């Protein structure tokens, strides 16, 4: 009522066009303030502890679990009493993680399954190894589901997909090695779809009241151009959007999807590229994990740091394209990597 009276006053005092502009401005400001307050609530007030507590004694399936974000997710889940199915290509690293969880005395007693598979195989046909991996994963998922149906305990609580292939040497699209491009498509596109396609039927069979979740760890480069990493950005855009679509589609079925989009981690970047625009010092993977769990079930996409949003918002309002600076830095990084790969001259 107050808003309507205020609108009539504007129309009568200054005409309809200024009144419309004022109303649009006020609505825009209110919308911005609402989003800001919601973001502050999500980041600073709301706790993720209740959400992760609901996963206790359930199974967490984590791909890319041998390092970085995947490893942090695995340790977080184990510390909260979740059983683990770890999937990756580095068996020794995953065995170290499993031994640490079992022997350190810092974690509850949990079951751990390790599956070895390299999703970046450049072959365009389904190999025997890939077929065997699918069969093994199906067997384990079937056992988890069967135990839940028989006893009411366990089941598949959460699936986290952290596999993500990136070209080691920054380059323009036409300069990419064919093996690199094929591996990237196999991992980031085919691997992402195949895993969700394989796990999703089991989650649906658990029923809408079970409360399972799927997290896809993508990249914030899916939201902006990343010089000399165009295919990486494009494939991660697919991963991000697939997760956001599934969030809308499977929410009524009791399955929460989330696309986690952190910026490029400077710890994995060449030294010169670390100084490029928007690439900051290494940040905590634990904080990324906590951010994802805080947003899970409440929104389709999670930005671990508010600063990451600037890499999308700031360039959109600047009249000078900042990515030219980033492109020059990436060219320097490419030169440095190629120079370091060359054997020393005798």
> Which of these ranges, 141-150, 207-216, 334-343, has the smallest mean pLDDT?
334-343
Q: What is the pTM of this model?
A: 0.77
pLDDT tens digits for range 109-141: 889 999 998 887 755 444 567 888 899 999 999
CB 49 within 8 A of CB 24: no
What is the Cα–Cα distance from 160 to 61, expressed in whole angstroms?
Answer: 6
Q: What is the pLDDT of residue 90?
A: 85
Q: What contacts 10, CB < 8 A, 6 or more positions away?
A: 18, 19, 22, 23
Task: Please report which confidence band the pLDDT of residue 275 belongs to, taking 50, 70 and 90 as the band edges.
Answer: very low
Task: Please report which confidence band the pLDDT of residue 198 belongs to, taking 50, 70 and 90 as the band edges.
Answer: very high
Asked if residue 191 has pLDDT above 50, the reply is yes
For residues 70-90, average pLDDT: 90
Asked if residue 197 has pLDDT above 70, the reply is yes
> Which of these ranges, 74-88, 197-211, 297-311, 315-329, has the smallest mean pLDDT?
315-329
Task: Please report which confidence band the pLDDT of residue 315 belongs to, taking 50, 70 and 90 as the band edges.
Answer: low
Q: What is the pLDDT of residue 302?
A: 83
Alpha helices in 41-167 (DSSP H): 49-53, 68-79, 91-103, 128-151
């Amino acid at each position: 009522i107050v808003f309507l009276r205020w609108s009539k006053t504007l129309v009568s005092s200054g005409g309809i066009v200024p009144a419309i502009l004022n109303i649009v401005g006020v609505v825009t400001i209110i919308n911005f303030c609402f989003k800001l307050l919601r973001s502050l609530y999500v980041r600073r007030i709301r706790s993720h502890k209740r959400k992760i507590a609901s996963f206790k004694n359930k199974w967490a399936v984590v791909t890319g679990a041998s390092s970085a974000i995947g490893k942090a997710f695995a340790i977080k889940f184990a510390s909260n009493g979740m059983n683990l199915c770890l999937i990756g290509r580095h068996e020794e690293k995953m065995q170290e993680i499993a031994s640490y969880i079992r022997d350190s005395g810092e974690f509850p007693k949990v079951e751990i399954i390790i599956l070895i598979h390299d999703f970046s195989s450049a072959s365009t046909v389904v190999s025997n190894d890939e077929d065997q991996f699918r069969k093994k994963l199906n067997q384990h998922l079937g056992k988890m589901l069967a135990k839940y149906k028989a006893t009411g305990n366990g089941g598949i609580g959460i699936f986290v997909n952290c596999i993500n292939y990136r070209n080691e040497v920054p380059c323009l699209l036409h300069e990419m090695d064919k093996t690199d491009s094929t591996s990237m498509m196999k991992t980031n596109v085919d691997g992402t779809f195949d895993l969700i396609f394989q796990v999703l039927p089991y989650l649906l069979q658990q029923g809408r009241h079970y409360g399972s979740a799927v997290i896809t760890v993508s990249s914030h480069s899916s939201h902006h151009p990343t010089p000399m990493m165009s295919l990486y950005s494009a494939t991660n855009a697919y991963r991000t959007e697939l997760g956001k679509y599934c969030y809308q589609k499977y929410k009524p079925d009791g399955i929460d999807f989330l696309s986690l989009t952190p910026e490029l981690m400077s710890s994995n970047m060449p030294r010169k590229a670390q100084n490029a625009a928007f690439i900051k010092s290494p940040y905590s993977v634990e904080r990324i994990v906590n951010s994802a769990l805080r947003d899970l079930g409440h929104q389709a996409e999670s930005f671990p740091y508010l600063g990451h949003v600037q890499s999308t918002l700031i360039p959109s309002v600047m009249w000078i394209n900042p990515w030219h600076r980033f492109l020059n830095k990436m060219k320097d990084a490419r030169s440095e990597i190629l120079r370091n790969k060359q054997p020393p001259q005798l």
